[in-house]
Each structure stands twice: as C-alpha cells, then as structure tokens.
Amino acid sequence: MAKLVLPMLENFSHCLCSTTKASLSQAHAHILKNGISLPETIQIFSKLDHFGHVIRVFSYMLTQGIVPDSRVLPTVIKTCAALSALQTGKQMHCFALVSGFGLDSVVLSSLLHMYVQFDRLKDARNVFDKLPQPGVVTSSALISHFARKGRVKETMELFHQTRYLGVELNLVSWNGMISGFNRSGGYLDAVLMFRNMHLEGLKPDGTSVSSVLPAVGDLKMPLMGIQIHCYVNKQGLGPDKFVVSALIDMYGKCACASEMSGVFNEMDEVDVGACNALVTGLSRNGLVDNALEVFRQFKGMDLNVVSWTSMIASCSQNGKDIEALELFREMQIEGIKPNSHVLDVPPDDGNTPARASPPVAAPILNNVPPFGKPLSNQGQQSPLGYQQQQELNNPPQEINQPRSGLTRPLSSPNQPLSGTSVPFSALNQPFGASDSQNLLRNLPFASEVSAVRTSILGVVLFPLVTLMATL
C-alpha cells in the first residue's frame, strides 16, 4: 500500500514547497480523494525513512489548523532524531506541552529516546521523571547511557528509582550497565555489577560474559577470569565467538599465555576477532616470535589495524626494527591506513631490555563448578563464590577505585527498596518512604520549554520552515 501511493505522496510533498496556494489545495484534495489523511501520509513517509517529507507534511498540517494527535507526534519526534535536528526536537517538546500531551507516555518515551541520542542526559532525565510509569525499554536505555558516560552515581540513583517504581529490569538492562561501566573505565564497577546480577538470580548470558571479561583483564584478576571461563564451559557458551575473543583478550591482559593459546586451539572454526585477540595478546606479553608466526599464518584473514598496530609496536619495542619496518610496508600494501598509534611507536634505543616471557598461570580446571562456593582467605565461604575474593576487595593500586562505592553484594535478592535497607550500598541516601515525594517529583523541563506561552504556530512553524530550507 505504501509503495503504491508513494509517487502521489511525494508529488504532494514537493508541492508543499510551492508558493502557489492553488497547487497546494489541488494536491491536498488529490490525496484526500484517494482516502489518505495527512496523519496517514506522515506514517507512510516515516516507515519509508523519507524524513524530509514527514517535516513538510507536518508543517502543512499546522497551516491547515489540523491538530496532530498522540500518534503523529512520536513519529515527528523520531524524524527530528533521524535528521539530527535538536532544535526542532525541542520545539516538538514545546508543542507537546502546549497541546496537552505533556503527560502522554508514548510522546514522553519518544522525547526521552531523542534526548538520549543527542547526549542531552539532563533533559532526558527530566522527561523520565515525568513518565507516569516508565517501561523496561525506556529505563534500560537511559540507565545504560548514563553508565557509558561514566556517571556512576547518577546511574545507581536511576537504577534504584526505577526499581522503586516497580519496573523489573531484565538481563538486557543489567548487560547495558556492565557494558557501560566497562566502556567508561569503571572496571571494578562493571565486575561488581556482574556479581550482584548473579546474586539476584539472573543467569548471565554471552553478552554479560563478553562485557565483563575486558574489565577482569584490565583489573588483572586471572582467578576470576578462570571462574568465568568455567562458567562458560558449563553453560555451553563456548561457540559464541564474542565470548571466545573476550576470553583470549582477558588471558592476554593477565599474562596467561598458556590459557590464551588453549582457548584459541579449542575453537572449532577460526574467527578473525579471535585471531586479532591472540596476536594482540602475544605481542602485549613480549612473545614476538610467536605473535609473528601466528600473524603470518592468519594474515590472509583480513586482520584489522589493531593487529597490525600491536604487531608493529611489539617488534619495534623488542629490538626487531627491521621486522617492524617490513610490517609497516606490508600494511600499506594491504591498503590498511595506519593510525596515530603506528606512527608514534617509539623504536628500541638499545637501552630498553627486551621483555621476558610472561609467567604462565595454572591450567584451567574444567571440574571447578562455576559460581561455586570456595573458601575465602578467612576460611569462610565467599558469598560471591569466586576464589579471588581478596582480589576483588583489594584491587591493584594502579587501577582507580570504584566511583560508586560498591563494596558489598545484595543482602537479599528480594529485598524491598524502601526504608534504610538499600541494595548495592551505592547511595548515601536511599529511596526511603519519607524522601519518595521529593525524589520522584516532576522536575521542570528546561527553561526554554517552561517559558513557552506562544501559540502553536509560533512555537512550531518557524523552526520547521527553517529545517525545510536545509532539506
């Protein structure tokens, strides 16, 4: 249906740019004759990703005095996000407020996703506070975005507020927080979130494992990595190529060359990501000859710039300058553009000794139960079940301490979020009953929105015309 009427609708949209009133009326009458309303026209253009036509038709609706409903506004807001038109999106927010849609859940959810896309987290949080009942998708999107920005305190506050409102966060929500903390450099926060997720009874999947393993490697926690590896074997996550690459990368960061090679050799089908992780891990640990051998063997598998960079840097810093120059030349022949890391590699000046072979960790015990209950250093069972409880509570000095203050697991998976008993011990002021009204009150939107007192056409039509001129 959409494709059949598309030529007629596109002709109508282009007529909207005309200054002849007769041509506009004629085109409008033509589409009405075929039983297609203006809101339906907007929906058709949006489904076909013709966002410029959406703006033109919406502007024409306003000139005709047609008030859009709650179905049209989310579509136009989505269009503003697709066109990277933040100012027009703000005007849509103003239009929603003055038109009586300020508390519509669908409209507010669309506004929240738009502000998240523009990294306007303050505005997104204000919209979230106005939602009568936030959904899982909306809550997860905002929480994970705060985590990616490294704003741990705000992430945990939003996490507690969401659960206080009765929203049960699913595995996707937890994975978003773990991945976000890891990307922002909050490695210990990511590990603690992974631990608490398991303590709440959620079963980590491949995404959870591949998100937390880089943080485990950066924290130099090989024992925890071994436990997670055992969990991968028990749950049958071995065929997941992202999990395998994350395991190889983790063992490389922890200087466990034997385990790293073992994971690679157990692969049924060699993957490019795993090859990159193996070459990078061997190079990182000074095993240049082994890395060169693997690199030459799998060079035809379209290794990316990361592998080339690691290989060139390893050769240059371990006294193999000729090999580094040859690799750099081959890299250019292969058509791979060198980045700043390749150009800034310091050569070996003869004073820096070559790296010694890294120590090899103990082999993986396949009969170790994943997430079991081994004894901690004090002779008591660890609530986490990891043998590296001391590592978790006393991370290496070179790693920044967690910014959220997460130091202990949940006391109970079903513990209510009220009173003074709050999970994670992450907040100084929990969401108690006495503070709920202050914490959950509707915050005013930005000053430019709350100050709107103009008519609908004055709010929306001018920025729309400005945007149309650029399309």
State residue 67's pLDDT score: 81
Q: What is the pTM of this model?
A: 0.62
- Paired tokens of 13: 């949209």
Q: DSSP states of 88-143 as a string?
A: HHHHHHHHHHHTT-TT-HHHHHHHHHHHHHTT-HHHHHHHHHH-SS--HHHHHHHH
Looking at every residue in the chain, the average pLDDT score rounds to 71
State residue 24's pLDDT score: 53
Structural element, H or E, at residue 169: none
CB atoms within 10 A of CB 370: 16
State residue 441's pLDDT score: 34
Residues 361-384 have a mean pLDDT of 35
- Burial of 69-99, coded b for 16+ CB within 10 Å and e otherwise, reads eeebbbbbbbbbbebebbebbbbbbbbbbbb
- Percent of the chain beyond pLDDT 70? 63
pLDDT (tens digit per residue) in 116-153: 999 998 999 999 988 888 888 888 889 988 888 888 88
Top pLDDT among 271 and 372 is at 271
pLDDT at 164 over 50: yes
Count of helix runs (H) and strand runs (E) in the chain: 25, 0
State residue 219's pLDDT score: 94
pLDDT at 380 over 60: no
pLDDT (tens digit per residue) in 407-418: 333 333 333 333
pLDDT (tens digit per residue) in 428-450: 333 333 333 332 233 233 333 33
Residues 212-227 have a mean pLDDT of 94
pLDDT (tens digit per residue) in 46-96: 888 888 888 888 888 888 888 888 888 999 999 999 999 999 899 999 988
Q: Are 291 and 283 in contact (CB under 8 A)?
A: yes
- Identify which of 90-94, 159-163, 360-364 has the greatest average pLDDT: 90-94
pLDDT at 427 over 70: no
Where does the pLDDT of residue 27 fall: very low under 50, low under 70, confident under 90, or very high at 90 and above? low
pLDDT at 342 over 70: no
State residue 275's pLDDT score: 84
Residue whose C-alpha is closest to residue 234's, from 123, 41, 369, 112? 369
Query: What is the C-alpha separation between 471 and 462, in angstroms, rounded?
Result: 15
